[in-house]
Amino acid sequence: MLDVRRLRLLRELAHRGTIAAVAEALAYTPSAVSQQLSALEREAGVPLLMRTGRAVTLTPAATRLVEHTELVLATLQEAATELASTVGEVSGTLRIGVFPSAVATILTPAIVALSAEHPGLDLLVRELDPSAVPDSLRDESLDIALVQEYDHAPVAADPALHRDPLLQEVVYLAALTAGSLAQWRDADWIAGTPGTLCHDLTERACAAAGFIPRIRHHVDDFGAVLALVAAGRGVAFVPELAVGTVPHGVVLTPLPVQRRTYLAYRRGTGTHPAIAAARSALHAAAD
């Protein structure tokens, strides 16, 4: 019989790429992860890892085993959800992940409603970039989270997670004058930190318009982005939800680009009482 805990380590290795990253995420030592994966190979009776120096890659058999693992873990989540549904009261700890521009407009009214309706629910909020959400949901440091994707910067589906569509919003070009995107090919640009979706959007949307943006500033707070635009330090993409109060002199030009926000949670947990309550409250806040 294959050990579920070891299968989970293999699944995380498939997503995170290195044994060190798996160890850090799941609070193991790298040697312990290696030992558990070696034990899984013995249980499976076939090679699962190809080792080249310190690097490891999954064999085709391991890749297929990871696909089965997703189904196994989802089934276990469904079983836990069914047990939780027999309790009757919505209680326990619920860990919610959110990106900054959704805190005031969506998250805050949702958690106020949740706390009032379910006082036995202990809500823990964590702000993070959507690119970090899938790993945090899989390693169970989060239970539900808001994630997003942009036109030009789509996010691949994760077989471990389910996504509910939550809202769509327009993306603006923030500058000191109105104009088409191509007009700003020689401008300085303000974008998010490399690795974030906002940074990817800037690079890819500009590439689609026929130029490579000269990114001079990396800023993740949209309020700071708009302040830099107002100071003449560059131009930037800003989604509607993040606009807030527009500084004097800044012109927002709507673009044929949208940002889509979803609620993400582990497969098999959607009807868990706490997660179902959070889904309802977040949808109501978004509406």
User: pLDDT tier at 222 (50, 70, 90 boundaries)?
Assistant: very high
Q: Is the pLDDT of residue 10 over 80?
A: yes
Which whole number is the average pLDDT over 249-266? 96
Q: Spelled out in words, what is the top-level CATH class assigned to the domain 169-259? A: alpha beta
Q: Spelled out in words, what is the top-level CATH class assigned to the domain 4-84? A: mainly alpha
Q: What is the pLDDT of residues 98-146, one digit of tens each?
A: 998 899 889 999 999 999 999 999 999 999 988 889 999 998 999 999 9
Q: Which of 51-55, 95-99, 128-132, 191-195 has the lowest mean pLDDT?
A: 51-55
Spell 124-139 as b/e; 16+ CB within 10 A means b.
Answer: eeeebbbbbbbbbbbb
Res 100: pLDDT: 87
Fold of 92-159+261-286: D-Maltodextrin-Binding Protein; domain 2 (3.40.190)
**Cα–Cα distance between 99 and 131 in angstroms, integer?**
10
Q: If DSSP codes are grouped into helix, strand and coil, which group holds residue 5?
A: helix
pTM confidence score: 0.84
Res 185: pLDDT: 95
Q: Is the pLDDT of residue 277 over 80?
A: yes
User: pLDDT tier at 154 (50, 70, 90 boundaries)?
Assistant: confident
Q: Which of 104, 240, 101, 247 is nearest to 173 (CA)?
A: 240
Res 244: pLDDT: 81
Q: Which of 99, 114, 219 is nearest to 167 (CA)?
A: 99
4-84 matches 169-259 in fold: no
Q: What is the pLDDT of residues 56-65, one digit of tens each?
A: 899 999 999 9
Q: Angle, nearest 10°, between helix axes 30-44 and 4-16?
A: 120
Residue boundaries of the structural domains of the chain: 4-84, 92-159+261-286, 169-259
